[in-house]
Structure 1
Amino acid sequence: MPASPTTVKEKAAKTVRKTYPNYKIIVLNDDFNTFQHVTKTLMTYIPGMSSDRALELTNQIHHEGQAIVWVGPQEQAELYHQQLKRAGLTMAPLEAA
């Protein structure tokens, strides 16, 4: 019995580009870090952090209990998070933005 020809539909080759998720660094309020220490630490470890922005974030941390101080790629987020934590700031766990 001869085989009948079959039609095969080919899938269109599509390249779907996905961007890596960004991560948020969140500093939490605590009872032992001073405004000066938090502000100085943010300026030291977060690239491009101005003294005015650091002071705004420090006030937000104090009055609202937390602030997102940086958002970006995971590898950088892990580095900055660890540096802020080592400097004594109280940190929330990293989370995808």
Structure 2
Amino acid sequence: MSTGVIEQRSTSTIRKPAPRYRVLLHNDDFNSMEHVVQTLMQTVAGLTQPQAVSIMMEAHTNGLALVITCVQEHAEFYCETLKMHGLTSTIEPDE
């Protein structure tokens, strides 16, 4: 007959949140403001026109604007989509 010792194991695991990345829009002298706003709205679901205008104006004024902060896979998708529409975009870790 066994002694019936039960080994307890912790079932709780600590999940680290996925690293976040910033999608940045760079100013350029080639695309119209309307094109930039439309592309932002088409690329980032849920982005309103006022938000897209604000991002476009920030890039226009400061040379760079934050579009969205998200997980790396999404950030890469947004960045590539913006580039496919002729916009200059990069991603960087959100520290």
TM-score by length of 1: 0.80
Secondary structure of the residue aligned to 2:28 is coil
User: Aligned-pair distance for 1:78?
Assistant: 1.0
Partner of 1:53 in structure 2? 51
User: Aligned-pair distance for 1:15?
Assistant: 4.3
Cα distance in 2 between the residues matched to 1:36 and 1:15: 48
Give a deviation string over 1:32-65, Cα, whole Å, max 9, x none. Answer: 0110010000000011100010001111010010
Q: Return the letter of the residue paired with 1:78.
A: E
Q: Aligned pair 1:96/2:58, yes or no?
A: no
Gap runs ≥5 in structure 2: 1-9
Partner of 2:25 in structure 1? 27
Q: How does 1:1-97 map to 2 (within 5 A)?
A: 15-92=13-90, 94-97=91-94
Partner of 2:7 in structure 1? none
Gap runs ≥5 in structure 1: 1-12
* Count of aligned residue pairs for this structure pair: 84
Cα distance in 2 between the residues matched to 1:15 and 1:22: 21
Runs of 4+ in 1 over 6 A off after TM superposition: none
